[in-house]
Amino acid sequence: MAMTMSQKRSTFSVFRYFVLTIWLLIVAFPMFWMVGTSFKPDKEWFAWPPVYITENATMRNYLIVWANINEYTKADGAHIDEKTGELSQYTQSLQRPWVALRNSTIIAGIATTFAVLFGGVLAYGVSRHNIISEGKMFQLLMLRMVPPIVLIAPISLWYRQIGLLDTITGLVLLYFLTSLPYAVWMCKSFIDEVPREMEQAAEILGASRWRTIWEIVLPLVRSGLVATFLFILILTWSEYLLALLLSKAEVLTLPVELSKYQGSTEGRVYGRQAALSVGITIPLIFVGLIIRKHLARGFSFGMVRR
Amino acid sequence: MTAEQTIGENLPLTGRAASRAQGIRRFKWTVLTPFFALLIFILMPALIAQVFFSLNHFSIFDAGDDDTWRSYLNASEWIGLELFIEVFNDERFWNACIRSLLFASGSTLGCFIIGFGLALLMYRPFRGQALYYIFFILPMLTVPIVIAYTGEMILYQNGPLNDVLSRITGLRVDAQFLYKKEIALTTIAFLEVWNWTPFSFIIMMAGLAALPQEPQEAAKILGASKWRIFWEIQLPLLRPVILLCLILRFLESMAEFPKTWGLLQGGPGSATETIPVYIFITTWQYFDISYGAALSYVVLVLMVAIVAGGIYFLQREKKNLDEMYFSRPQQSE
């Protein structure tokens, strides 16, 4: 017997919810596990059968990683100097997340600001006066798409020569260059949407070039620029390779700091890693959700029309 | 193009148009000069140094603590193309290339199929759409290195994944996802798929939402089945977006480093040693800067070729698209 239209529709609806929920579980499980582990006491990190929801939830991991609390025991692998009663240098080295957070914020913040400012101006020129041909705009993508690993060794040696190794400036310059292509393309997609007629009208009415840009174009693309800024912030914040190889001690960023927890002498400390991971991830998720409607633009290079 | 639309053209004052063009030129170079300065100041020396190191036998240990160009020059010995010949005979390098290609194409396809599938199920409004959407983009917003370590917590032998699989299947699943040579690369590819499916999903959603409705409605009225509409109308119209998705994801996967390195450092054995990992090990663990430079150079040339190919395709699609949209008003019947 043939199904009626509404039966068909409801079968599809059930199928849809079924598939989507399966993928939802796959997406949510690692997140759930990360957050869950960060609240687990040490014994439950490796327990078998695994502990899904801990009954002994504790803030200890967070306190140790983020709050510089030294209620260590020998079992944690902490070394408290018995004479002075202070944490040994080794343990202190595990308490740098705030420094790393500061570095990450400064580096990602400055690089992103410059990329968006510069990218915005360039995008305006491209959108309105064609100062760069479309072909060149695509060639700009090379900066992003060629894997950085192929040039990082000589860059590191060169940075050593000119004193940029292990400095904020050094990382900012490279992040600026690698995020510029996305910045220009994304800004351009927003500027393209502002009707030229509005600028022309302002011009006819006698507004100067700057005033037109300042009072007509800028207000209309402001939210777009904010989206671009946050989008690039996500990319630079999570960058790992350049940060790992161009920073030695001074300018550790959060992803690099996290990787120091792996394979350090005290073995695997899943709970601490998770507590740090949560701290790294939350700002990004927050930022990403703000700009979720614009995410597609960052990557689409004007290919998606609306 | 732009000049036609500005009022300056309508006036007979060629002087004004000329000064305008001059102003634009000045603007162009004011903007571009710092950019080129950066390229020349940072990337050019690196490229030149790369050539130098790959043509010389150079060891950072011979250079000593004295970090000057002179000491680098003293510590290096001209050997010509020897290292490049070595690279081409290096089985480990070619294996790394094959692994990278397999990894990149596998994860790209995985991302695309899942992302497109989800987008097809979701692009029409339904109850809960926004909630699913928010959840589905989360993996893209997590830091890759975080995914690597969280992945380890989940995938290790006594970890939750084996437990969950055991409970679902009723069998005792005891897979070594990470430490078995045969499956380690696949495991990382799955992590990559988990991480980047949102990318395909977002782009395909935007692509589907932007499809013109008229042809689909016309086909429906003419009695075309849903499949036929999908294959003969939606899919061809989506071609630029699909290509964009595949090309970008492939290029980024070729350069994937944090997850591969963070989880397994190329191991077990050399089962997950992709191109970036091999270069990293050569340069930063063996400190063989010269060989690393030769490797990098070969990879650079290969990647530039691949990227240029990808960019060429993208550019062609964009051009077709622009022409289509430009001529649409005249075409409409």
Q: Is A175 exposed, middle or buried (0-12, 13-18, 19+ CB in 10 A)?
A: buried
A22 touches B at CB < 8 Å: no
What's the mean pLDDT in A245-273? 78
Residue A267: predicted pLDDT: 60
Residue B62 confidence (pLDDT): 67
pLDDT at B263: 87
Mean pLDDT across the stretch A115-127?
93
State which residue of chain B sits closest to A246, comparing Cα positions: B284
- Comma-separated ranges of CATH 1.10.3720.10 domains in chain B: 92-331
More confidently predicted of A289 and B13:
A289
- Tens place of pLDDT per residue across chain B (333 aa): 444 444 444 555 567 778 888 888 888 888 889 899 999 999 999 999 889 888 988 877 766 666 677 777 777 788 888 889 988 999 999 999 999 999 999 999 999 999 999 999 998 888 999 999 999 999 999 999 999 999 988 988 888 888 888 888 888 888 888 888 888 999 999 999 999 999 999 999 999 988 888 888 899 899 888 889 989 888 988 998 999 899 999 999 999 999 999 888 887 888 899 999 999 999 988 888 889 999 999 999 999 999 999 999 989 988 888 887 776 554 433
Question: Considering only CA atoms, which of B261, B60, B289 is closest in space to residue A256?
Answer: B261
Write the single-letter amino acid at A175. Y
Task: Tell me the domains of chain A and their CATH numbers.
Answer: 93-300 (1.10.3720.10)
Mutation site, B20, B22, B42, interface A, largest A CB count within 10 A? B42
What is the distance in angstroms between the Cα of A19 and the nearest Cα belonging to chain B? Answer: 8
Which residues of chain B are within 8 Å of residue A132 when distances are taken between CB atoms? 28
Architecture of domain B92-331: Orthogonal Bundle (1.10)
Mean pLDDT, chain A, integer: 84
pLDDT (mean) for A6-18: 88
Q: Is B256 left (phi over 0), alpha (psi -120 to 50) or beta?
A: beta
pLDDT at A93 over 90: no
Q: Do A129 and B2 touch (CB under 8 A)?
A: yes
Is there a cis peptide before residue B236, judged by omega within 30 degrees of 0? no
DSSP label of B76:
E
Using the Cβ of A211 and the Cβ atoms of chain B, whether some distance falls under 8 Å is answered with no
- B81-139, pLDDT tens digit by residue? 888 998 899 999 999 999 999 999 999 999 999 999 999 999 888 899 999 999 999 99
Low-confidence winner among A93-102, A180-189, B11-20 (lowest mean pLDDT): B11-20
Give the closest of A17, A146, A268 to B300, CB-based.
Answer: A146
Confidence of residue A95 (pLDDT cuts 50, 70, 90): low
Determine, for residues A153 and B303 on separate chains, whether the beta-carbon distance falls below 8 Å. no
State whether B194 and A48 contact (CB < 8 Å). Answer: no
Q: Quick count: other Cβ atoms within 10 Å of Cβ A149? A: 26
Q: Does B101 touch chain A (CB under 8 A)?
A: no
Taking the Cβ of residue A174 and every Cβ of chain B, the question of whether any pair is shorter than 8 Å is answered with yes
Task: Quote ipTM for the complex.
Answer: 0.87
Residue B333 pLDDT: 34
pLDDT of residue B286: 87
Q: What are the tens digits of pLDDT across the range A193-219?
A: 888 888 889 888 988 888 888 888 999
Spatial CA neighbour of A181 closest among A306, A299, A303 = A299
Where on the phi/psi map is residue B287: left (φ > 0), alpha (ψ -120 to 50), or beta?
left
Q: Does A124 touch chain B (CB under 8 A)?
A: no
Q: Is the pLDDT of residue A88 over 70?
A: no
Is A285 at the interface with chain B, CB within 8 A?
yes
Q: pLDDT band at residue A292, thresholds of 50, 70 and 90?
A: confident
